[in-house]
Amino acid sequence: MNFSPEFLTAAVDSAWLIVALPFLAGFLIIGSFLVGGIHIGDKRVFKTLAMLTSIGAVTWGFFHSIVIFEALRINPALAYQQNWDWFTCQNFKLSVGFLVDNLACMMLIVVTTVSLFVQVYTHGYMREDPGYARFYSYLSLFTGSMLGLVVSTNMFQMYGFWELVGVCSYLLIGYWWYKNSAAAACMKAFVVNRVGDFMFLVGILMLLLATKDFWSGGTCMAFVAQPGTSGTDLAGALQHALQAGTLRPELALAASSMPLMAILIFGGPMAKSAQFPLHVWLPDAMEGPTPISALIHAATMVAAGIYLVARAYPVFLAPDGGTDSIALAVVATIGTITAVMAATIALSQNDIKRVLAWSTCSQLGYMMAALGVGAFSAGLFHLFTHAFFKAMLFLGSGAVILGCHHEQDIRKMGGLSKVMPWTGATFLIGTLAIAGVPPLSAWFSKDEIVAAAMHYNPGIGWALIITAGLTAFYMFRLYFLVFTGTYRGDHKAHEVTPVMWLPLVFLAVPSMFAGGLLGFNQEAFFGAGGVNPWASFVHFQHPHVEKVDSMVMGISTIIALGGIAVSYLTYVTKTFDFNTKLVESQNPLWKISYNKWYFDDIYMAFVNKGVLPLFDKSWKLVDGIIDNIVNGMSLITSAFGEVLKYTQTGKGQYYALVIFAWVALLTWIVYLAYPLA
């Protein structure tokens, strides 16, 4: 592409349109429905307009993001930030604006690309749904909220869009509100995310309290200092606070503890990105329509937590800027536990969408572990590659569900590659990519994470390598049971329409080539020989460029291929039957996996036997106190009324006598309080 410098500058400066247009589309659709939808004679026309409005807005965002990428690739100095004051009080002010740099550009491309193909796919998947237009309005609002989060210039603004993303996800997960399971799932997602968001809010308030005097009149809690102003950025304000003593480097139960503040802020990403122990909402979110599963679990809501940790990375670093901090150790540990736990659960699940949901949970753990061990670029690189093949896999699962007449149990499928060739071929590409088979995209990003983890802590490194083997096994278990063998369903399966399989084909391209094209950084792989000019897009030089360890990469690849081989011998050739034996014998390990480590049971027991009884007793106690106070006051008032009614005689001289008596009493009280000298 050959654009003029003026055009590229204008594209970066007008990046706010990428956010504004999906919001405008969403409100236009909702407004048209509420104001004129009832009176529109041809509902098909209205549905078509809703679809075109929503897709048109995100299409603009997609091409606009590509142009911004080209601008920043040619001239990184074009990175741009604009802020407007939202609240000002003396020297304190909160601002809103938009920030466009490499990190934001990467996320803009991910969100707009996946959202575009999801919305095209939606036309085929939801075309018979009576709420078709309403669904598109939710999609637009969700996309706009996520894009607003991406370009936020400061923590305050990001929290606002963070909550908007949560509200939109609640509406989308519970879109089929008349289903009890969907209503329960959206409520579960909402409640679990409120726990994390409360921690996030407390962490933000601690950050504001510690740094309120150190922003030099610039944007408060800004991620990046705005050029041409006297303000500072997040890293600078934290250093000033540490030097002034308003922030302390040690972990303590105090508002001035920097590690505690970072851990509380991390509570938001733990919930949004489904990290242990706030991961339980993610599989239940499968009750929403499949396009939402792809949008939430591939590139948007679940990626928000990863993006926040990356954008606010100075909060998690050690005071000297190193990666050997308590906060990053917590991030690495939580991410590793999540990756391993979710992978073991995915081994035994039989719902096609829930297998992919647990896979997403595990891969998010991979990304979070990468950020925790200091592999900043590798974690974001994996976020980038994962978005495309996971979106393709989720959309592929939706095609399978429709092709099998709304069947989701993989035990009732099989042999679908013969009748669904396009879906089967793209699903295989996605399965190979997530399994880390070279040279597909995740092979590049995953092994950068493993190498960095191995150098940070061998225990974490080996845990992630084992997770890679488990991922290859359960993903090919899914593929073999769905697309190979003989069909086991009750109704004849069929391929979906082109409007549904064409997005899969387009997403297959970055699933295959994004890693090699954008991630093959010669310096990262070999330590010398120059840098791929495209690689700077996902390698941010912060805090360092990760060099891949060829031995670790080889071991990880061999274990992944071994997982595929074991899956093939188990589900295709039936050479191994240990899986059947585990199920039939109700092996304790299998039961732990199948029952999702019993987290739902533990939480429900805690709520039903702990929280609710305590709430009930507290409520009754407080209610009793309030009732007694109100009843007591009414009795006292009534008693005073009974006594005072006898003073109302209607005789003037009696009233004068009462007034004189009160004046004399008050004079006597004043004399006692202030006696004459």
In this predicted structure, what is the pLDDT of residue 333?
A: 96
Distance CA 342, CA 677 (A): 85
Q: At what angle do helices 458-483 and 550-571 cross, to 10 degrees?
A: 30
Q: What number of CA atoms fall less than 13 Å from residue 351's CA on the CB side?
A: 13
Distance CA 158, CA 147 (A): 10
What does the DSSP assignment read for 386-405?
HHHHHHHHHHHHHHHHHHTT
- 36 pLDDT above the threshold of 70: no
- 527 pLDDT above the threshold of 80: no
Domain locations along the chain: 5-594, 599-673
Secondary structure E strands in 90-235: 92-100
- 674 pLDDT above the threshold of 50: yes
Q: What is the DSSP letter of 170?
A: H
Of the candidates 219, 271, 261, the residue with the CA atom closest to the CA atom of residue 241: 261
- 471 pLDDT above the threshold of 80: yes
In this predicted structure, what is the pLDDT of residue 42?
A: 45
Helix segments in 212-347, DSSP class H: 234-244, 258-272, 281-284, 290-294, 301-311, 313-316, 326-346
In this predicted structure, what is the pLDDT of residue 536?
A: 52
Q: What is the mean pLDDT of residues 467-474?
A: 94
- 10 pLDDT above the threshold of 70: yes
In this predicted structure, what is the pLDDT of residue 308?
A: 94
Which range, of 149-158, 314-323, 325-334, averages the lowest pLDDT? 314-323
Helix segments in 572-611, DSSP class H: 578-584, 588-594, 599-606
- 326: its two tokens: 């308590």
Q: What is the mean pLDDT of residues 656-673?
A: 85
- 152 pLDDT above the threshold of 50: yes
pLDDT interval class at 661 (50, 70, 90): confident
In this predicted structure, what is the pLDDT of residue 530?
A: 45
What does the DSSP assignment read for 601-620?
HHHHHHIIIIIHHHHHHHHH
pLDDT tens column, 21-31:
999 988 877 76
Of the candidates 342, 368, 309, the residue with the CA atom closest to the CA atom of residue 162: 309
- 350: its two tokens: 């039989």
Of the candidates 337, 332, 325, the residue with the CA atom closest to the CA atom of residue 278: 337
In this predicted structure, what is the pLDDT of residue 519?
A: 58
- 99 pLDDT above the threshold of 80: yes
- 546 pLDDT above the threshold of 60: no
Amino acid at 155: M
- CA distances in angstroms from 649 to 354, 638, 652, 661, 664, listed in the order given: 82, 19, 9, 16, 21
Amino acid at 253: L
Distance CA 561, CA 468 (A): 10
Buried b / exposed e over 307-320, threshold 16 CB at 10 Å, is bbbbbbbbbbbeee
Q: What is the mean pLDDT of residues 242-266?
A: 91
How much of the chain, in percent, has pLDDT values that exceed 90? 39
Secondary structure E strands in 41-113: 80-89, 92-100
pLDDT interval class at 43 (50, 70, 90): low
- 250 pLDDT above the threshold of 60: yes
3-state secondary structure 310-347: HHCHHHHCCCCCCCCCHHHHHHHHHHHHHHHHHHHHHC
- 441 pLDDT above the threshold of 60: yes
Burial of 70 (0-12, 13-18, 19+ CB in 10 A): middle
Q: What is the mean pLDDT of residues 470-494?
A: 91
Three-state DSSP state, 230: coil
Provide the sign of the torsion angle of the four alpha carbons 364, 367, 372, 373, taken in this order: positive
- 85 pLDDT above the threshold of 90: no
Q: What is the DSSP letter of 219?
A: -
Q: What number of CA atoms fall less than 13 Å from residue 621's CA on the CB side?
A: 6
Distance CA 172, CA 174 (A): 5
- Rank 121-130, 561-570, 638-647 by mean pLDDT and report only the highest: 561-570
- CA distances in angstroms from 400 to 128, 397, 417, 570, listed in the order given: 17, 5, 10, 23
Contact 343, 597 (CB under 8 A): no
For the chain, counts of helices (H) and of strands (E): 28, 2
Q: What is the mean pLDDT of residues 183-199?
A: 91
pLDDT interval class at 298 (50, 70, 90): low
- What lies within 8 Å, CB to CB, of 374 at 6+ separation is 323, 328, 452, 456, 543, 544
- What lies within 8 Å, CB to CB, of 131 at 6+ separation is 175
Cα 588 from chain centroid? 32
Distance CA 505, CA 392 (A): 8
In this predicted structure, what is the pLDDT of residue 543?
A: 47
In this predicted structure, what is the pLDDT of residue 41?
A: 41
pLDDT interval class at 256 (50, 70, 90): confident
Q: What number of CA atoms fall less than 13 Å from residue 666's CA on the CB side?
A: 6
- 585 pLDDT above the threshold of 70: no
Contact 151, 104 (CB under 8 A): yes
Peptide bond into 588 cis (omega under 30): no
